[in-house]
Structure 1
């Protein structure tokens, strides 16, 4: 497969051209990936406190966690209830810099301040605002690989 990028300052919208001998499953899959790429760029989520809805920027999210069968978003401004399941949010944010650290928690990689590996068998991730998140043992290899540890 050959990939070529042409930069033209006068172009207002990105155009993708696929040139192939014939329409194959590979070409169809490639088209679908390109369409999905644009659809999954989520920049905000809606969170709730009592009966008020708040627009939360994805870049402001520290972590997303489940507690008592409810899912919450934590930012520097507080915790907000969201109406989605954790796996749904993980799928929506798959293009963003978020990492699953346990069955009940997802963290924003850009908000990690340090990682404590000194505790034997456990990993503690510290987020902005001095929030500690413990990594589940089964997620440790994936996290180490994702963060290059």
Structure 2
């Protein structure tokens, strides 16, 4: 490897099996070569959620989901161009989804990573998404939490 690599071995008798942790600023060719030498499978694919349209099951990359919304007792997953049904309830999704998702109203959970704009007015709070005409309403209760999360993302 061309870069200087620090190696540290820690003995932890509470472990049932050895564990290797690679800390790196970015995955590059050298890291991939090291993973091959260690016989580590490729980096896992992004998590997916099974959603439906009629009788067809679709396996949606969570990064592509803009938001989930309840409509007439059915929870729908919205992507930039489409809507899919999910068999989960919102409270179940809250427990299943990664930290980039958050509840923003009684009937919606959104993917904070896909937020493009947040409009705040006396009558409503609306989120717009990148490369999509879709919008979702944020209740007054959740608005301050969402605004704080978006400001934290801005720090990155």
> So what's the TM-score if we normalise by structure 2?
0.65
2:96 to 92, 95, 98: 92
Larger Rg: 2
Q: Give the deviation of 1:98 after TM superposition.
A: 1.0
Deviating more after overlay: 63-72 vs 137-146 = 137-146
Distance of 1:86 and 1:122 partners within structure 2? 22
Superposition RMSD on alpha carbons, in Å?
A: 2.7
SS of the aligned residue for 1:120 comes to: coil
State which of 65, 82, 85 in structure 2 corresponds to 1:81.
85
Any unmatched runs of 5+ in structure 1?
Answer: 1-6, 16-41
Q: State the Cα distance separating 1:111 from its structure 2 match.
A: 1.0
- Return the alpha-carbon distance in structure 2 between the equivalents of residues 99 and 130 of structure 1: 20
Higher normalized helix content (fraction of residues) = 1
More strand by percentage: 1
* The one of 84, 89, 108 aligned to 2:111: 108
TM-score, length basis structure 1: 0.67
Give me the whole-angstrom Cα distance separating, in 2, the residues matched to 1:137 and 1:96.
21
Deviation at residue 137 of structure 1 after TM alignment: 1.3
How many residues are matched?
Answer: 115
Q: In the TM superposition, what is the alpha-carbon distance from 1:135 to its structure 2 partner? A: 0.8
- 2: distance between equivalents of 1:111 and 1:66? 19
**Residues 121 and 137 in structure 1, CA contact (< 8 A), matched pair in contact too:** no
Q: After TM superposition, give the deviation of residue 62 of structure 1 in Å.
A: 0.8
Counterpart secondary structure, 1:138: coil
For the 8 Å contact 1:115–1:123, the answer to whether it is kept is yes
